[in-house]
């Protein structure tokens, strides 16, 4: 999808975003904060700040956080969290001087970038101590994706049978993140959270039923509701066990901009 389409979609899902996404565990936030402090970071630019779900806890942990997002809708909800520094702007052209921050941070945002090298290069330009990104691990020993996305795959299948185009791949954001990490390897990868959990297979359906999933925004509500109901019936009370891992990637040396690559 183009950047304009992504921004449009997040404007539309912003009212239901916080209610349909799980917050980061406090332990993950604490460990990430520890890693940032060890790197000498006190001022942070969070690119793709969204509704401020991570910026607010980092602010509470003593960091000076500036949040940037291209979606006015998401920023409006971030303002409700009393974040003092919010900027509307693009990851590909950051409106800040060179070295304006100790670090730039992306939290589960890399998979949304259609020009990742450009964004990472810009992040490096405005950072004194490096660019950081919270991502999923390069490999998943428990094959979390196969089970975790079963309910969503059922919805996709039903909608595709009715003529609605669905994504050709279904490995979640982690697949795109892994591709970007392979293309632009970070200098460091630190696990900040690692725990085995069990959850109902139907859990992802809450996001779909509340129309907080970008791929369903233009499909009639009653059509989505029927597909979600069918998926709930098929998966029933089944659960899946997975390994929840959060990894902090760090690029200490700025990546070169595309024109110089």
Cα torsion angle, 183, 32, 71, 18, sign: positive
**Distant-in-sequence, close-in-space partners of 220: CB < 8 Å, separation ≥ 6:** none
* Per-residue pLDDT band at 171 (split at 50, 70, 90): low
Mean pLDDT of 69-81: 96
Range 167-178 average pLDDT? 73
Spell out the domains of the chain, with CATH numbers in brackets: 3-260 (3.40.50.150)
Task: State yes or no: pLDDT of 204 exceeds 90.
Answer: no
**Alpha-carbon radius of gyration of the chain:** 19
Confidence of residue 65 (pLDDT cuts 50, 70, 90): very high
C-beta separation of 190 from 35 below 8 A: yes
Q: 137-152: per-residue pLDDT in tens?
A: 644 444 444 566 788 8
Say yes or no to pLDDT of 256 above 90.
Answer: no
18-57: per-residue pLDDT in tens? 988 888 999 999 999 999 999 999 999 999 999 999 999 9
For CA atoms 22, 82, 68, 189, give the dihedral sign: negative
């Amino acid at each position: 999808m183009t950047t304009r389409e992504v921004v449009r979609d997040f404007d539309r899902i912003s009212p239901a975003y916080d209610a349909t996404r799980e917050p980061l565990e406090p332990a993950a936030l604490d460990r990430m904060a520890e890693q940032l402090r060890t790197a000498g970071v006190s001022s942070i630019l969070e690119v793709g700040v969204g509704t401020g779900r991570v910026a607010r806890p980092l602010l509470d942990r003593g960091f000076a956080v500036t949040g940037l997002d291209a979606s006015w809708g998401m920023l409006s909800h971030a303002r409700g969290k009393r974040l003092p520094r919010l900027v509307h702007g693009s990851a590909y052209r950051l409106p800040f001087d060179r070295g304006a921050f100790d670090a730039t941070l992306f939290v589960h945002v890399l998979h949304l970038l259609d020009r990742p090298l450009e964004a990472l290069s810009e992040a490096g330009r405005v950072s004194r101590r490096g660019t950081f990104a919270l991502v999923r691990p390069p490999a998943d020993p428990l094959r979390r994706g196969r089970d975790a996305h079963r309910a969503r795959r059922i919805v996709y299948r039903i909608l595709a049978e009715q003529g609605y185009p669905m994504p050709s791949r279904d490995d979640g954001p982690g697949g795109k993140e892994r591709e970007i990490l392979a293309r632009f390897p970070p200098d460091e990868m630190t696990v900040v959270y690692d725990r085995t959990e069990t959850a109902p297979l139907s859990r992802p359906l809450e996001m779909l039923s509340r129309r907080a999933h970008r791929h369903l925004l233009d499909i009639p509500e009653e059509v989505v509701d029927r597909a979600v109901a069918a998926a709930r019936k098929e998966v029933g009370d089944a659960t899946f066990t997975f390994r929840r891992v959060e990894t902090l990637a760090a690029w200490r040396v700025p990546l070169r901009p595309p024109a110089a690559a």
